[in-house]
Structure 1
Amino acid sequence: MSSSTTHPLTEAWLRDLELLLHGIDPGERAEVLAGVREHLDGSLPPGASDDDVRRVLTDLGSPQSVADEAWAGRAIPRPGASIRSTWLGIAASCVNGLGIALVTLWSWSLAAPFEIIALGTLLVIPWGIAVVLSMLAPGWTTRQRVTSALLFPATTVGYAAVGEVAVRIFGPSRLNLIPMVVVLGVAVWVLVGLVRAVTRVAR
């Protein structure tokens, strides 16, 4: 008698599952498939009838539902989602980059922290767009989405805070630009990391 996993119905079910798992680490994919085969072998005796196989496969769920569980919580997008994950993340990063560039120009030409924050609020609509794009980008983890959403306002507040501290310490001086450069460097470093993350998982 043949194994239950060699039954034509289970073979077709397993082939569909394997295709849906394409993109997951090969070792993890093999582990998922092995677990499903073990379950089928334990639930079906060799030579099981078509009705028995259909009943067990129905209880197990569709290949799509099993694949959904395997993909759950992963930053790597499923096949067919790479283009979407790339352009959403890139678009969010571009909007963030534009906002950071504008607030940087304003911050370096203004002395009052409250003026920096006030002018930063003028970009609330682009920031809202960046938040929506960030939350929809499937190529990022939840932490990366939140980081992208908060990057622009955090940079604005950072400029205002370090500007205030620098003025109190150095007074009117070119040295005040040093902490501003540090804030810009951190913002750019985070932004580049987000872009690299979304392009890496889309490959």
Structure 2
Amino acid sequence: MNTTDRHPLVSAYLDAVARETAELPAERRAELLADLREHIEVSGAEDDARLRAVLAGLGEPRTVAASALAEEAPAGRAATAAPGRTKLTAVLLAVSGVLILFSSVVGAIALIAGLVLLWAAPQWETRDKIVGTGTAVAVPVLVLLGTLLGASSRLGPTELLLILAFALAVPAVGGTLLVRAARR
């Protein structure tokens, strides 16, 4: 530690950056502060005017912190996702299939809301979103095809049970996969 580290301007600047980066992992925050210290030290500035110029060149502590936090965002995206919203999205998509069988309006609303939440959420990759969408729309597509082909008049109890099992299982599997993917 050199004399520059003990200068009040440098201490205040580094403390401000440390406060602004409290959300960063401790190791990343320490690395950032060490880099800033090194840059200040290498500048050779020791008087107030030069130190102010060096610190101004680094940028405001809030700006430095925002840049560091933005760099961390992709790696920590699942951790920043709201767990309640993740579960709500998965549940809406998981129950939409059964709801469509019993009430097409309520099921459609649940499906649309779930898909909007799914595609707006940062915690899932595009692949996860496609799988979630596919499993959620499988039941409505099956119902629509059955209606268009006139199959509903020829359904017996066994076929109805199979459709109900499909309507329960496929969206539930999709919801489970989404919850697991959000934890990664």
Query: Does the pair score TM above 0.5?
Result: yes
Q: How many residues in Structure 1 have an aligned counterpart in Structure 2?
A: 168
Q: Deviations over 1:100-140 (max 9, x none)?
A: 42432323x59xxxxx7xx5784289628x736973x6xx4
How many Å apart are 1:179 and its aligned residue?
3.9
- In structure 2, runs of 5+ residues without a counterpart are none
Distance 1:180 1:132, change over 3 A: closer
**Distance in 2 between residues matched to 1:55 and 1:70, nearest whole Å:** 21
TM-score (norm 2): 0.65
Identity of aligned residues (%): 24
Distance 1:133 1:157, change over 3 A: closer
SS in 2 for 1:72: helix
How many Å apart are 1:162 and its aligned residue?
5.8
How many Å apart are 1:21 and its aligned residue?
1.6
Conserved 8 A contact 2:17-2:61: yes
Conserved 8 A contact 1:44-1:56: no
Residue in 2 aligned with 1:31? 31
Residue in 1 aligned with 2:15? 15
Residue in 1 aligned with 2:176? 189
How many Å apart are 1:91 and its aligned residue?
4.4
- Supply the AA of the counterpart residue of 1:71: L
Residue in 1 aligned with 2:129? 147
**Distance in 2 between residues matched to 1:105 and 1:132, nearest whole Å:** 18
Distance 1:133 1:9, change over 3 A: farther
Residue in 2 aligned with 1:113? none
**Distance in 1 between residues matched to 2:118 and 2:142, nearest whole Å:** 29
SS in 1 for 2:125: helix
Distance 1:193 1:131, change over 3 A: same
CA-based RMSD of the aligned residues comes to 4.2
Distance 1:91 1:68, change over 3 A: same
- In structure 1, runs of 5+ residues without a counterpart are 111-115
1:131 aligns with 2:116: yes
TM-score (norm 1): 0.60
- Supply the AA of the counterpart residue of 1:6: R
Distance 1:14 1:134, change over 3 A: farther
- Supply the AA of the counterpart residue of 1:131: V
The residue correspondences of 1:71-150 to structure 2 (distance < 5 A) are 71-73=69-71, 74=73, 76=76, 86=82, 90-91=84-85, 93-94=87-88, 97-98=91-92, 100-107=94-101, 119=105, 122-123=108-109, 127=113, 131=116, 135=120, 140-141=122-123, 143=125, 147=129
How many Å apart are 1:19 and its aligned residue?
1.5
**Distance in 2 between residues matched to 1:142 and 1:59, nearest whole Å:** 37
**Distance in 1 between residues matched to 2:69 and 2:6, nearest whole Å:** 26
Distance 1:188 1:156, change over 3 A: closer
Conserved 8 A contact 2:89-2:117: no
